[in-house]
Structures are given as C-alpha cells and as structure tokens.
C-alpha cells in the first residue's frame, strides 16, 4: 500500500509504503540493521535477524506469515517494513492471534521506528497502515500495548482509538499499558 504523507507544517509530500521484505531490499535492510544496532537496541526481534543470510531472512519472514517454521510458542505474524525512497524507516509486526504472553504483554501489534527518523509522524503512520493490514487479516479488534512511560507510543495508541483496559505488571520492567482498538 502506498500513501502520500504530508510532514507537519511543511506540506512536503512524500510517498511511503508498507512492504514485506523482498530480495531487492537487501541493501536497504543492511542499512536499517546497522542503524538499529548502532542505537544499542537489543530487542528480541533483532536477535531473530542475527547470523542469517539475507535470503534466509526473507524466507523466514514469509514462513512466519503463513505459520510455518515458527519458534515454539509463537503465532503466525506478518512483519512489514515502512519504506521511503528505497530506505527502511521502521517495521511493524502483526500477530494474527494471541497466545498467553501476547494477551498479557505483547499484544497484536508491535512497531519500531529507527532513531534517526523519530518525531516525524512515522510512528503514527505505521500503526495506521498496520490497521489496514489487520482488517485484511480479518480481525475486528486488536490489543496494542506499551510500557508505562513510553509517552510517544502511548500518544500514538490513544490517537488511534486505543481504550485502556489495564496496566499489567511485568517481571523485569515497567508495567504494560494494555489498550484495545476497535476496527
């Protein structure tokens, strides 16, 4: 899906799209990974990208989408990348169903914008585009969570209709704010 995106007050139009990882995105993906690693991010999803040739990564994500070769306790999930002018700005994971961990902590949707592209509206945009995908998958409500104190994510979720259900304590960090969004 391609959208025209107008930056804040600048009226500067640019085209962005949410795309699956394809063989032709290899250079863009390498650049994105380098940026994410340089940020010192140690997210669980990043570990999934380690030590795998690019073609294997592309195949792995396509398998996860259809529910093949999933790590144990994982559910089918689409991983899509926000692309602008051939560069990857961020990514979103859409889990097609919930397991116990996702229902309590992770939710249906998790998104990430690379640090040098934050505060430009892309976080809000990636959730908006992800909701279109969610509709295609056939869900009519989604759980989206964020850490207490993650003001940017909290604003994004609430702006997109998130209704807070509760704050879920976690073992090793701040509580999770659990929101439902009706589609």
Binding segment toward ligand COA, per CB under 6 A, in 18-26, 60-68, 77-85, 144-152: 144-152
Taking the complex as a whole, the smallest distance from the CB of residue 153 to ligand COA amounts, in Å, to: 4
Taking the complex as a whole, the smallest distance from the CB of residue 56 to ligand COA amounts, in Å, to: 25
- Answer for which of 123, 134, 142, 179 binds ligand COA (CB under 6 A) is 123
- CA proximity to 131, closest of 156, 165, 114, 164: 156
For ligand COA, the closer of residues 96 and 150 by Cβ is 150
The phi, psi pair for 58, rounded to 5°, reads -60, -45
For ligand COA, the closer of residues 64 and 122 by Cβ is 122
Are residues 15 and 89 in contact, defined by beta-carbon separation less than 8 angstroms? no
Are residues 178 and 154 in contact, defined by beta-carbon separation less than 8 angstroms? no
For ligand COA, the closer of residues 56 and 152 by Cβ is 152
Taking the complex as a whole, the smallest distance from the CB of residue 53 to ligand COA amounts, in Å, to: 26
- Answer for which of 84, 120, 128, 160 binds ligand COA (CB under 6 A) is 120
Q: CB-hemisphere CA count at 13 Å for 6? A: 4
CA dist., res. 163 & res. 172, Å (int): 25
Taking the complex as a whole, the smallest distance from the CB of residue 3 to ligand COA amounts, in Å, to: 14
Are residues 80 and 145 in contact, defined by beta-carbon separation less than 8 angstroms? no
Count, residues near ligand COA per rule CB under 6 A: 19
Helix ranges (H only) for the chain are: 26-38, 44-47, 54-66, 100-101, 122-137, 151-159
Tell me: does residue 160 bind ligand COA (CB under 6 A).
no
For ligand COA, the closer of residues 7 and 135 by Cβ is 7
**Where would I find the beta strands (DSSP E) of the chain?**
2-6, 13-19, 77-84, 87-95, 109-113, 141-147, 163-168, 176-182
Could you tell me the two tokens for 143? 């759980």
Judged by CB under 6 A, the chain residues 100 through 119 that form the site for ligand COA are 110-113, 118-119
- Contacting residues toward ligand COA, per CB under 6 A: 110-113, 118-124, 146, 150-153, 155-156, 159
């Amino acid at each position: 899906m391609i959208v025209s995106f107008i930056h804040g007050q600048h009226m500067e139009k640019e085209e962005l799209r949410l795309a699956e990882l394809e063989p032709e995105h290899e250079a863009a993906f390498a650049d994105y990974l380098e940026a994410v690693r340089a940020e010192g991010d140690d997210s669980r999803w990043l570990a999934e990208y380690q030590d795998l040739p690019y073609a294997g990564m592309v195949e792995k994500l396509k398998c996860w989408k259809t529910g093949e070769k999933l790590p144990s306790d994982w559910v089918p999930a689409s991983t899509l990348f926000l692309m602008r002018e051939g560069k990857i700005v961020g990514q979103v994971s859409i889990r097609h169903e919930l397991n116990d961990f996702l229902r309590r902590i992770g939710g249906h949707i998790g998104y990430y914008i690379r640090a040098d592209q934050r505060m430009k509206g892309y976080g809000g945009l990636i959730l908006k585009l992800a909701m279109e995908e969610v509709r295609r998958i056939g869900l009519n409500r989604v759980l989206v969570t964020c850490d207490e104190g993650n003001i940017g994510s909290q604003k994004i979720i609430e702006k997109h209709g998130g209704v807070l259900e509760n704050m879920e304590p976690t073992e090793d960090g701040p509580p999770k704010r659990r929101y439902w969004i009706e589609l």
